[in-house]
Amino acid sequence: MATGSSLFSLQGETALITGGTRGIGQYVAIGLAEAGADIILVQRSTASTETKLAIEKLGRKAHIYTADLTIPSDVSRIVPSVLADGHTITILINCAGIQIRHPPEAFPDADYRAVMGVNADAVFTLTRDAGAHMLSLPPSPATGRRGSIVNFASLLSFQGGLNVPAYAASKGAVTQMTKAFANSWAGRGVNVNAIAPGYIATEMNEALIKDEERAASISARIPAGRWGDPEDFKGGAVFLASRASAYVSGHTLVVDGGWMGR
């Protein structure tokens, strides 16, 4: 039986991650590499190489595959392309996401579809395709594990937010599909879980951060006394991707400095 740090080791694993060029996704990709995994980065273009170079400096392999997650045909070819090149996917991290703000009564159909496409539809397709591949892999002799999938949800999986009805709908969908896939696959060696970030100081929350009154009210409610940092997600991601979470299934891990408990 694995003990201590070996429970969190990702040596010999290969993780496919979306949204790894910046923010939370970048730190998660680097955190997985620090734990020993090789990384496949799904990006809109090959122009951004910062994450790839950081991973390679750790002595791990990093590959970039290009896809536009707003285009269904691009999403559907990701896993087949990766497998055709001889890679084995044992970890999937669905971290890419977009947020568009409008008053609900004036929310455009096109913006609703764009948010749902990236935040929910792409997550469904990649989870289905990577999961099907993982189910075909031989199980670990020690744990029966074949793979781990971690989807990024949000506090708005549980709350409605303000002027973000599409984002809230998409993140609610993420938590529910996480449970649905987990129910079918947990007994077959593929764990599916999610992480729900709280208020994190990233580009996505720039509008909130610039609204001094709203930012102050948010900070006042967070028991930890600060907004989160993207680096705060390394540990949770490694935990859910590793054998340390072998008996965790269909769970959404809230990383919010205590916001939901307030």
Q: Which residue among 27, 167, 199, 247 is the active-site one? A: 167
Does 223 reside within a domain?
no
Q: What is the pLDDT of residue 209?
A: 59
pLDDT number for residue 213 = 73
Q: Which helix (H) or strand (E) segment is 147 a member of?
A: strand 147-152
pLDDT by position in tens, the chain (length 262):
455 568 999 999 999 999 999 999 999 999 999 999 999 999 999 999 999 999 999 999 999 999 999 999 999 999 999 999 999 999 999 999 999 999 999 999 999 999 999 999 999 999 999 999 999 999 988 778 999 999 999 999 999 998 999 999 999 999 999 999 999 999 999 999 999 999 887 766 666 656 677 767 788 888 998 888 999 999 999 999 999 999 999 999 999 999 988 8
Domain-located, residue 224 = no
For residue 98, tell me if it sits in a domain.
yes
Residue 148, beta-bridge partner list: 91, 191
CATH code where residue 248 lies? 3.40.50.720
Q: Which domain holds residue 30?
A: 4-203+230-255
Does the residue 68 lie in any domain?
yes
CA distances, 12 to each of 61, 71, 258 (Å): 11, 32, 34
Q: What pTM value is reported for the model?
A: 0.94
Predicted local distance difference test score (pLDDT) of residue 202: 74
Q: Position of tokens 């970048």?
A: 26
Within-domain flag for 109: yes
| pLDDT score recorded for residue 205 | 66
Residue 218: its pLDDT value, please? 80
φ/ψ bin of 19: left (φ > 0), alpha (ψ from -120 to 50), beta (otherwise):
left
Question: Would residue 66 count as lying in a domain?
Answer: yes
Would you tell me how many other CB atoms lie within 10 Å of the CB of residue 24? 27
Give pairs for 74-81: CB < 8 Å, separation 24+.
75/121, 75/122, 75/125, 75/126, 76/125, 76/129, 78/16, 78/42, 78/126, 78/129, 79/16, 79/126, 79/129, 79/130, 79/133, 80/129
Q: Is 209 within a domain?
A: no
> Total domain count for the chain?
1
Token pair of 195 as six digits: 């992480």
pLDDT at 140: 85
Measured between alpha carbons, how far is 59 from 235 in angstroms, rounded to an integer? 20
pLDDT of residue 2: 54
167 is catalytic: yes
Q: In angstroms, what is the C-alpha Rg of the chain?
A: 18
**Domain for residue 219, yes or no?**
no
Task: Give the contacts of 71 (CB within 8 A, at least 6 positions apart).
Answer: none
